[in-house]
Amino acid sequence: MSGHSKWANIQHRKGRQDEKRGKIFTKATKEIIIAAKSGGDTAGNPRLRAAIATAKTVNLPKDKIEVAIRKGTGEDAGGDITETFYEGYGPGGIAVMVEVATDNKNRTVAEVRHLFTKHGGVLGENGSVGWMFERKGVVSVDKAAYAEDRIMEAALEAGADDVLDEEDVWTIYTAMADFAAVRDAFEAAGIEMQSAELAMIPQNLVAVNADIGQKVLRFMKALDDNDDVQNIYVNVDFPDDMPTE
């Protein structure tokens, strides 16, 4: 299974099980703030619309969503957050991209570098692995709730590139230009999405054994525990039967 898909499934289960929602809320709030920098009107800002939809799936309160929007548009203080990527190599030499949202780049890069080193990797220069990834839209839908025919019809008619059967979800991939149309088509069709986001998808996957796969997952979990880290992307093809806990 691809790194993005396996990690998304782990994140979804973690989100359901995690009673301390602080970190999840922080990440959802930061995404709204960053998205709102391009405008607070969801009709003209697809990223903000997606950020709000994601925030609702983790039960971020409405008032916190509204405050985050005002911070992003500059109406309220506290929106001084910068979005950037860090790139490098993780366990087994796999490519890693780390998306962060921070108000202190010096602190964040030091913490991210430490985690790379601690887990047998190395933080690289900008562009060192970014060329291996492509920005795409990714939509996840609960497989138990919808038949394949319904998902395929809605996705492909809206311009999606592919629909994959991955563990307990349907994963729909789109070109960046088609992401908003696909997400809107699902909303119009009454299909509830677990997530809908723009993500960095590797152009090619590197198969790893269970030992390296476990090390990669431990590294990703350590990165994810950092409040400044929004998303982690790897070019790994994990063994399907590899334990994830």
Q: Which of 153, 190, 144, 145 is nearest to 172 (CA)?
A: 153
The answer to which of 20-29, 38-47, 175-184 has the lowest mean pLDDT is: 20-29
Helix axes 22-36, 62-73, angle to 10 degrees: 40
Q: What is the mean pLDDT of residues 150-164?
A: 91
pLDDT of 8 > 50? The answer is: yes
pLDDT of 11 > 80? The answer is: no
The answer to which of 7-21, 29-43, 160-174 has the lowest mean pLDDT is: 7-21
Arch. (CATH architecture) of 3-73? Orthogonal Bundle (1.10)
Q: What is the mean pLDDT of residues 145-156?
A: 91
As to burial, measured by CB atoms within 10 angstroms (0-12 exposed, 13-18 middle, 19+ buried), residue 146 is middle
- Token pair, residue 92, equals 């087994």
Q: What pLDDT is stored for residue 19 in this prediction?
A: 46
CB–CB of 163/170 below 8 Å?
A: yes
The answer to which of 16-25, 58-67, 182-191, 192-201 has the lowest mean pLDDT is: 16-25
Same fold, 84-131+203-237 and 132-202: yes
Q: Which CATH fold would you assign to the domain 132-202?
A: Alpha-Beta Plaits (3.30.70)
pLDDT-derived band at 10 (thresholds 50, 70, 90) equals low
Q: Which of 182, 228, 216, 244 is nearest to 96 (CA)?
A: 216
What are the residue ranges spanned by the domains of the chain?
3-73, 84-131+203-237, 132-202
Q: What does the pLDDT look like over 169-210, one tens digit per residue?
A: 899 999 988 888 898 899 899 998 888 888 899 999 999 998
- CA of 144: how far to CAs of 141, 148, 150, 220, 239, in Å? 9, 10, 12, 27, 23
- Class of the 84-131+203-237 domain? alpha beta
pTM for this structure? 0.84
CB–CB of 85/129 below 8 Å?
A: no
Strand intervals (E) in 22-153: 82-89, 95-102, 122-123, 133-142
Q: What pLDDT is stored for residue 244 in this prediction?
A: 61
What would you report as the CA-atom Rg of the chain, rounded to the nearest whole angstrom? Answer: 18
pLDDT of 226 > 80? The answer is: yes
Q: What pLDDT is stored for residue 85 in this prediction?
A: 94
Q: What pLDDT is stored for residue 22 in this prediction?
A: 76
Q: What pLDDT is stored for residue 55 in this prediction?
A: 87
- Per DSSP, what are the bridge partners of residue 83? 101
Q: What does the pLDDT look like over 138-148, one tens digit per residue?
A: 998 988 999 99
Mean of pLDDT over the chain: 87
Q: What pLDDT is stored for residue 89 in this prediction?
A: 97
